Chain A
Amino acid sequence: MKPSKIADALRAANPASKPRQPAYTGTGHWLYWHSPSGEMLPIGVAIHLNGVTYRQIAEHNDIQQTVAALWGETVAWQLGKLLDNTTTALYDKTGNLPEGISAEAIELCQGDNPAQILDRLWRHGVADSLLLKKKPPSQLAERSISGSNPEAVPDEPAENTRDAAASAVVPPKRGGHGQ
């Protein structure tokens, strides 16, 4: 049986399923700092939507104390410079990430608006970083937007638009029970 026919049958058998039609679809990158002890620690996330790059990078002030405690003041100061250079590299699309910072591709990101996507990626990814874990995300990061199309700064979330994992088929009777 063709996958699309199976999908139709599953939708029909699960009338409570909801289609997802995200307003924004794009790609992104997790940004990691390579610590002196060899770990790759998340320090930010960047997403690319309709030619615009949106980024959220840890504030040096929020991680300085932890980094200094773990690797010393010099490393903490150097990381501050690296964060600045990372921000610059993301702003300037031709710039390469500084040495000590690497990126891992996010193949797909979707959501109602860029701020929402960025926020979710931050909370479910970067915020778990050893460097950031105990602080609320709102106090942790610089938010900024760069790219060739600055007028595309997002509006407020639209009602009834949906997020990633388009067209979720959910169970008909059991609520959160997946199958």
Chain B
Amino acid sequence: MLDEYGNEVKAHIKAFPADSKALANELAGWILHRAAGIETAERIWVIILSNAELRALFPAVDWGDADDWPSLAVQHISGQPVSAKSAELWVDELAAWHSTAPCIAMAEWLWEIDGNAGNLINTGRGEFAAIDFADSFGGPHWTPARLRKNTHAPFYNKRLHIAWGGIATPAQRQAAQESAARHASILARHWRDITHWWDHLLKPKQIQAAHDFLLARAAVNWMDHRL
């Protein structure tokens, strides 16, 4: 596709059902990962696809009769998903990656339930990038009530299991806690960036519930009891 300057860019197009909050989740996830310095796609775009384009790209989905559909384009990351190779080839590198602790802490913060091996791209020389944040907030069909109910509920942090075998060592735990200590300031600095988009995608009550959820999970020492 062409970017906003008319330059060609290789990107992946994602479109989501109307009743899904996946686009909102993707936007917030990308903004917060970037803010935490975690490698992810360099750029993403909200693009408006026509009904005809949607039907051509995703023929198996019923897109109804809406003319325009807000969708996501994610700049391609060169590399291979870590799921493409056997674990022995990347597990040591992933454990040593400088963003592993922030990445695990971020998943814990956002209630990112799908940080599977296919969503970590090995970009070579010991570097990785995290993609696909549609399943933040426990999944794309979250509700304010569900967020409130699960603010402190444990969940299966896939990134924790992929990188650290499910149990953090004391040093790893400390690294994750240090990363988590930045979450509150990240949220404060970037919440406006998120609401720039969310104001048009979500209802005020949903936005408020998500903010409350993130704020509670960014509290001092919150991560100490999680990993």
Do A and B bind?
A: yes
- B70 engages A168 (CB within 8 Å): no
Q: Is the CB of B4 within 8 A of A176?
A: yes
- Determine whether B57 belongs to the interface, using a CB cutoff of 8 Å to chain A: yes
How many Å lie between the Cα of A124 and that of B12 in the bound state? 13
Is A107 an interface residue when CB atoms closer than 8 A count as contact?
yes
The verdict on A11 contacting B57 (CB below 8 Å), with A2-B18, A165-B2, A179-B30 known, is: no
Q: Is B134's beta carbon under 8 Å from chain A?
A: no
Do A7 and B70 touch (CB < 8 A)? yes
Instruction: Tell me the chain B residues, 1-60 only, with Cβ under 8 Å from chain A.
Output: 1-6, 8, 10-11, 13, 18, 27, 30-31, 41-50, 52-53, 56-57, 59
The 8 Å CB contact of A169, one of B8, B31, B48, is B48
- Chain A hits for B10, CB < 8 A: 124
Q: In this assembly, does B224 line the interface, its C-beta being within 8 Å of a C-beta of chain A? A: no
CB contacts (< 8 Å) of B48 on chain A: these are: 7, 10-11, 166-169
Write the B129-141 contact mask toward A (1 if CB under 8 angstroms, else 0).
0000000000000
Tell me whether B200 and A179 are in contact (CB under 8 A).
no
A6, B56: Cα distance in complex, Å: 21
**B155 contacts A by Cβ under 8 Å:** no
A164 within 8 A of B: yes
CB-based contact B18/A3 at 8 Å? yes
> Among residues 19 to 76 in chain A, which have CB atoms less than 8 Å away from a CB atom of chain B?
20, 25, 27
> Known: A6-B200, A164-B1. Contact between A169 and B70, CB under 8 A?
yes
A contact residues around B200 at 8 Å (CB): 6, 9-10, 13
What's the Cα separation between A139 and B56 when bound, in Å? 32
Q: Do A167 and B27 touch across chains, with their CB atoms under 8 A apart?
A: no
Known: A3-B66, A10-B48, A10-B70. A107 touches B31 (CB 8 A): no
B191 at interface by CB-CB < 8 Å? no
Roughly how many angstroms separate A179 CA and B13 CA in the complex, as a whole number?
15
Residue pair B4, A166 in contact (C-beta under 8 Å)? no
Provide the residues of chain A in CB contact with B73, threshold 8 Å.
165, 168
Enumerate chain A residues within 8 angstroms of B1, measured Cβ to Cβ: 163-165, 168
Find A108's partner among B3, B8, B42, B53 (CB 8 Å cutoff): B53
Residue of B nearest to A172 (CB): B196
B69 sits at the interface (CB 8 A): yes
Interface string of A139-179 (1 = CB under 8 A from B): 00000000000000000000000111111111100011111
**In whole Å, how far is A166's beta carbon from the nearest beta carbon of chain B?**
6
CB proximity to B under 8 Å, residues A84-116: 107-108
In contact, B45 and A4 (Cβ under 8 angstroms): no
A residues bordering B, Cβ < 8 Å?
A: 2-4, 6-11, 13-14, 16-18, 20, 25, 27, 107-108, 120, 123-124, 162-171, 175-179
> B residues touching A (Cβ–Cβ < 8 Å)?
1-6, 8, 10-11, 13, 18, 27, 30-31, 41-50, 52-53, 56-57, 59, 66-70, 73, 75, 193, 196-197, 199-201
**Can you list 23 A-B pairs with a CB-CB distance of less than 8 A?**
A2-B66, A4-B67, A4-B69, A6-B70, A14-B46, A18-B4, A25-B52, A107-B56, A108-B57, A165-B1, A165-B47, A166-B48, A166-B53, A167-B47, A167-B50, A169-B47, A175-B4, A178-B43, A178-B75, A179-B31, A179-B44, A179-B193, A179-B197
